[in-house]
Amino acid sequence: MQAKTILRVLKPILGAIVGMALLLLIIAWMLGWHREKIEPGESEVVAEPRLTTEEIEKYTDQVHEVSKQEIVEAVGTLKASNRTEISARVLAPIEKINVRAGQAVHGGEAIVELDDRALKTQYSQAQAALVAAEVALRKAKNDYLRDRQLFQHKAISQSQMDDTTARVESARADIDAKREAVAEAEVMLSYAKIAAPKSGVIVDRLAEPGDMARPGVPLLVLYDPESLRLEVPVMEKLAIKLKVGEPYTVHIDALDRDFQGTVDEIVPEAQAASRSFLVKVALPKSTDLFEGMFGRLKIPTEARRHLCLATDAIERIGQLEFVDVVHEDGRIERRYIETGRWGMEGRKEVLSGLKAGERVLLRSKMNK
């Protein structure tokens, strides 16, 4: 009994002692008791590497300040200034379409034929009405000649003579109207054949044989390939410096070619959303250019000065760029830099981290 009581009393005390010992061990570990201690004393300082004057001349390159004209690109789309939508003038079924998209046509060439049976019927009816009117005019004239003789012999009254004269005048007016109706029907019949209003290329075919042609509804779209222009929105600060008639380079991405264009028109109204003016640049005739192509207008601006660095001196580590700057005494300093996109072949623009005249280590030459 006595032993159990003693154990019950000592158990909490032993637990506290063990916890304290563990805490002391953790503190000692954090203080580094297990590490090797460096005895106090003196040691040699390792001299940092330096380049000799000959090595500086051989293995380094100087950061130069250069001046280069900036080219700003404005993107746009090729569109024809001379574009025509071809539609029917009468309501009639389409009988034949003689062209397809991409086909070149000449002015006056028949490109669409409509069903003209109803129009021919109207023309025949107008001609028949004209013949009837001519017969009525001849009868009215004969009546007039007979009644005039009777009137001279006082066989008929003045009112009867006036009626006969009126019938002649009415018959003449009616025949004029019938002739106009025949001419109108003839014109309507001519609308059954639709001809190209000018030479160009069919860019879109919007109907097929069997469809109903309606006045004002486009059937074909025609454009003049010689009137292609690059329509491009240009920022206000650049657009106000452009002049109509000035030459500019236009790059067509699909062809990977440059064309010499001329500013043809500048729409005198700025777009509020984009703060830009619409500029239209005329392009030379080419069988390789088509409406809707993507193009870039290259606009030269004022020259800009910047630092230029040999790309061989740049070391990339992840997304960071570093160079080794060599001082006059030969010391080498690792430095972080930021580069841009400018520079001639083998060189790159430096945005920050270097100064003009500093020398940098060329890695390819050092590794040889």
Angstrom distance (rounded) from CA 250 to CA 148: 85
> What are the backbone dihedrals phi and psi of residue 293, each rounded to the nearest 5 degrees, phi first?
-65, 155
- Tell me the two tokens of residue 268: 């005198």
Q: Give the pLDDT of residue 2.
A: 59
pLDDT in tens, 53-73: 777 777 888 888 877 777 888
Residues in the chain: 368
DSSP alpha helix (H) spans, 213-269: 236-239
- Residue 19's pLDDT band (boundaries 50, 70, 90)? confident
Q: State residue 34's pLDDT score.
A: 58
Instruction: Report pLDDT digits (tens) over 270-301.
Output: 888 888 999 999 999 888 888 889 999 999 88
Average predicted confidence (pLDDT) for the chain: 85
The per-residue pLDDT for range 249-262, each reduced to its tens digit, is 999 999 999 999 99
How does pLDDT run across 92-129, given as a tens digit for each residue? 999 999 999 888 899 899 999 999 999 999 999 999 99
Helix (H) or strand (E) holding 262: strand 257-271
Residues paired with residue 84 on neighbouring β-strands, in sequence order: 222
Residue with tokens 């001809």: 195
236 Cα distance to chain centroid: 18
- 213-272 pLDDT, tens digit per residue, is 999 899 999 988 888 899 999 999 888 889 999 999 999 999 999 999 999 999 988 888
Per-residue confidence (pLDDT) for residue 35, from 0 to 100: 61
Numbers of helices and strands, H then E, in the chain: 6, 20
Q: How far apart are CA 236 and CA 138, in angstroms?
A: 76
**Amino acid identity, residue 75?**
V
Neighbours of 24 (CB within 10 A): 10
Report the C-alpha gap between 21 and 46 in whole angstroms: 44
Q: Tell me what percent of the residues of the chain surpass a pLDDT of 90.
A: 38
CA–CA dist 136, 142 (Å, integer): 10
